[in-house]
């Protein structure tokens, strides 16, 4: 009898610790440090759904107008460079600027490197072709976006 009670207590304690550890593992570092647990949601989150690379909403709209006129973008002109905007941009980058990755709309290092080649060619980018969208890449991308205003 005593061993059954001890076993039930041990199982219950282990379950509580496992649930608590799982909550802390899914919480961000700040929440874990504060002892908070993350809320569980059924919502699907896509990573990096919008990547404007420092552009304002209007500048991103300019780019979307250019993409719509030239590269098969069919989405909304909403100033949010999401997956479909980047798929259209990747088609341009593949055709002219050495992008060799998938047309998947994911803004990874390969997409940034091809973008940097475009920006180095005509938009004043002077940095390395390193796949990192730093301040120089973002400044040149803003110049490109401002020039796209004529497409809207």
What does the alpha-carbon distance between residue 10 and residue 125 come to, in Å, rounded to a whole number?
A: 63
The pLDDT of residue 91 is above 90:
yes
What does the alpha-carbon distance between residue 103 and residue 93 come to, in Å, rounded to a whole number?
A: 10
The 10s digit of each residue's pLDDT in 112-142 is 999 999 999 999 999 999 999 999 999 999 9
Distance of alpha carbon 32 from the chain centroid:
24
Average pLDDT value for residue range 63-90: 95
Model pTM score = 0.68
Kindly provide the b/e burial profile for residues 97-134, where b requires at least 16 CB atoms within 10 angstroms of the residue's own CB.
bebeeeeebbbeebbbbbbbbbbbeebebeeebeeebe
């Amino acid at each position: 009898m005593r061993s059954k009670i001890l076993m039930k207590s041990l199982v219950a304690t282990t379950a509580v610790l496992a649930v608590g550890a799982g909550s802390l593992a899914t919480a961000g570092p700040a929440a874990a440090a504060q002892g908070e647990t993350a809320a569980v949601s059924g919502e699907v989150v896509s990573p990096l759904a919008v990547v404007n690379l420092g552009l304002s909403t209007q500048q991103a709209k300019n780019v979307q107008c250019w993409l719509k006129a030239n590269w098969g973008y069919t989405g909304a002109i909403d100033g949010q460079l999401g997956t479909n905007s980047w798929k259209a941009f990747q088609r341009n980058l593949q055709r002219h600027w050495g992008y060799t990755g998938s047309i998947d709309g994911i803004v990874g290092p390969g997409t940034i490197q091809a973008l940097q080649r475009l920006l180095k060619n005509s938009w004043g980018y002077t940095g390395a072709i390193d796949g990192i969208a730093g301040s120089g890449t973002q400044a040149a991308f803003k110049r490109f976006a401002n020039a796209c205003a004529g497409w809207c």
